[in-house]
Each structure stands twice: as structure tokens, then as C-alpha cells.
Amino acid sequence: MNKPLKQHLIDPEICIRCYTCEMTCPVEAITHDDNNVVVDAEKCDFCMDCIPVCPTGSIDEWRVVETPYSLDEQFEWQELPAQADIGESSGVEALDDAMAALLAEAHAGAGGKSKAPASAAKPSVNLYNLGKPATARVTGNFRLTSGESGSDVRHIILDFGAQPFPVLEGQSIGIIPPGTDKDGKAHLPRLYSVSSPRDGERPNFNNLSLTVKREEQGLCSNYVCDLKIGDEIKVTGPFGATFLMPEDPSARLLMVCTGTGSAPFRAFTMRRQRSKAGGSGDLTMFFGARTPDSLPYFGPLGKVPEKLLKKHLVFSRQPGQPKEYVQHRMMAEQDAVADLLADPRTHIYICGLRGMEQGVEEAFRSISESTGQAWEATRDAMRDEGRYHVETY
Ligand code: A2P
């Protein structure tokens, strides 16, 4: 009999098919088909390089097995199989503990597998894949930032016609850029967060919006930002099963973002604005950009009543003013942040530049400690309860 082994796996329900792990793995143990991203047990040497780069924690999975799951088996999975009962083997617990320790170390105390809010609606995931993408028609492409700002951020509207394409706020979709790479292979899809609510950019239309920044040399962002009305594009997804909003109308949302990281928060805010339920949960946003004319949706945001959304718009390059980041404003508003941190109804969402994560955590730590709370314990408990969500890139 084989002795039990630990096998590193990816949760196909939570994975958003960004392929970052596959690009990071130094031994090419991670691969994909049209359906799933999977780990080859024969090649994986548990170096853990793929762990911290995964934006969802879908890669924080393993099973103790007697015979490793093959690639073909993993390609077929819609969900991860439960840990099989492999009998009275004394090695299993030790293997489990060893893997948990490796993961904790790889995350260096941060990150980790996120959970959906307890009251979130059940999302549809992976309805369309590389082999069978949906076709969407472009019905809008508006520039959100001024020409002088040097930043070109677009509001893109996609219509799915008769194809079902259900999305929840906080989910992403993939866009497949046309053409092939230098090896003649089709390009992999690039992921974009949906910035409209579940009932459509226009209520009760089968459409959605994206917030896309043109990146210099960006293959897909230039393709998307140059799309014309009527163009047809290939779409995969929807993806993401944890960065979702609670349905509970008394849940309080604290949203921290930079630039296009604001996309899901536009969706959250519109969802709350459109739902008739009412409720006591407030929305607070800390939103950082270089200047007002490079802050996506600056004009429309101004029209959202403070009663619905408490807005802290923070600018780092305003002429004549000191550089300010979101974490600086959180410190300036520490009483309000402390009040949110102390409330079990609060959900925290962080979305945008990877670089801001550390500064934002430092602000949370300092504010927590000023009220006698240990930040790590608070954060880990919130994450466990599906109340702490990070999506940075
Ligand atoms: P800056 O680039 O002026 O230092 P971008 O325009 O590149 O999308 O960035 C959005 C905003 O995030 C900018 O105001 C940028 O400031 C800011 N930013 C850059 N680095 C960090 C960081 N480490 N923490 C918080 N905000 C940051």
C-alpha cells in the first residue's frame, strides 16, 4: 500500500482563473485546460511560491491521499472533493499539520483563504470558459478621466443578449484578447471586476459594466479601451465566490480602494441604492487617486448622497497640497474606523494596488491598538466570519 501523501490542490469554485499561480510556479507544476487550473502532484515540490500571489486563497488547499488525483480528474472537477477517509493511518494528522504550517508561513501572517459573507447570495461561477466563451456586444465606451490627467480609465458596457450571464456585485469576468502570443498560442483571458449591480448596468437589462485603465503596453487593456460600439468580444466567467456583499441590509460596509479598485464598490453602492429593503447598515468609502480628474466616477460619486455613502476622496498629487493616501485619511478618521471595527455587523473590503495593502493594514493595526484590540486577532476572526476581503493586484 502507498503511504499517505499530501497533495496540493486548487479549489475550482473559488479560483478566478487569473493564471497568476501558473505563471509563478518555478517547476511548471500548475497547468490548465478550458475548465480548471490544476496542480501536477508529480511536479509540485511544495515551494509555496504560488501561495501569496493567489488573489483568492483558492490555492490554499490540500488533501491527504494514498493515490494523488490525476490532472484529468482535476480538470473535471466542479468542486473540490472532500477529504477521503483513508483509514487509521497515524501519518494523516501530522501531514495535515505540516501543510497548514507551510501555508501559514507562505502567507507571512497575512492573506489566507477568504470566505464569502454569511448572508451573501450564491454566485454562478465559470459558466463560460476558454473553449466555450460567451459573446458580448459593446454598447458603451466612455472615458472617465480627463485627457490632462494622463490616465485613461474607461467605463465599458457589455450586452449579453439572449445568453444567460448572471453576475453578483464583486465578481469578475475574463476577456479574451484576439490573436495569439509569440508561440502561436491563443491569449489567456484577462480579468476585470464588474462595476455594475446584479440587475444590470441598466436595471433589468442583460448587461454589465467594467472599469478599465489603459496600461502602456497592456495587450488586453488597450484592446478593451479601443473597443467601438457594436464590437463583439469573447468573455469567460463569471468568477469569484468570496468578494461578495452581504445581503443583510443591516451589514455595514467599509470599502478602501485606489483607482479602478473602485469598480466593485460602485456595484455595491448601486445595489444598496436600488434595493428597496432599506436597512440600518451604512456604507463608508476611502478612495485614493492622484487628482480629482483621474478619480474614476468623480462626478457621479459627488451625486451619491452622504446619507447612503460616506465618501473620503483622497488625492496624492493635488498641486499645492500634501500627498495623501487612503491610509492617512483612515488615521485622520480613526474614531469612525474604530467604531466600524468594533461592530460585528461590519464588513471590510480592500481593492486596488497591492502596495496599499501594507499601509492600510498598518492603519487598521494602529486604530485597533488604540482601542486595546489586537489587530491580527480581529482581522483573522473577521476573515473567518466572511467579513474581511482583500483583492489587490
Ligand atoms: P501616487 O502614485 O501619487 O504615489 P494609480 O493612479 O497609479 O492607479 O494609483 C492610485 C492612487 O494610489 C494614487 O493616488 C497613488 O499615489 C496611490 N498609491 C500608490 N502607492 C500607494 C500605497 N502604497 N498606498 C496607498 N496608496 C498608494
Residues of the chain with CATH 3.30.70.20: 5-107
Intervals of CATH 3.40.50.80 along the chain: 252-392
The DSSP code sequence of 26-63 is: TT--EEE-SS-EEE-TTT-----TTTTT-SSSTT-EEE
Beta carbons of 53 and 21 less than 8 angstroms apart = yes
**Residue 84 confidence (pLDDT):** 85
pTM, two decimals, is 0.90
Average pLDDT over residues 273-286: 86
Every domain range in the chain assigned CATH 2.40.30.10: 134-239
- Which atom from ligand 1 is nearest to the alpha carbon of 317? 3
For residue range 13-67, what is the model confidence (pLDDT) as tens digits? Answer: 888 888 989 999 999 999 999 889 999 999 999 999 998 888 788 899 999 898 9
For residue 88, pLDDT over 90 is answered with: no
User: What CATH class has 134-239?
Assistant: mainly beta
Ligand 1 geometric centre to CA of 330 (Å):
15
pLDDT value for 361? 95
- 332-352: average pLDDT: 97
Assigned architecture for domain 5-107: 2-Layer Sandwich (3.30)
Which H or E run contains 208? strand 207-213
Mutation to probe ligand 1, out of 313, 329, 356 (largest number of atoms < 8 A from CB): 356
> Would you say 196 and 274 are in contact if contact means Cβ atoms under 8 Å apart?
no
Q: Separation of 289 CA from ligand 1 center, angstroms? A: 6
Atom of ligand 1 nearest to the CA of 260: 8
Strand (E) or helix (H) holding 283: strand 283-289
CATH code: domain 252-392 is 3.40.50.80
Separation of 307 CA from ligand 1 center, angstroms? 27
Q: Which atom of ligand 1 is nearest to the CA of 355?
A: 23
Average pLDDT over residues 236-260: 95
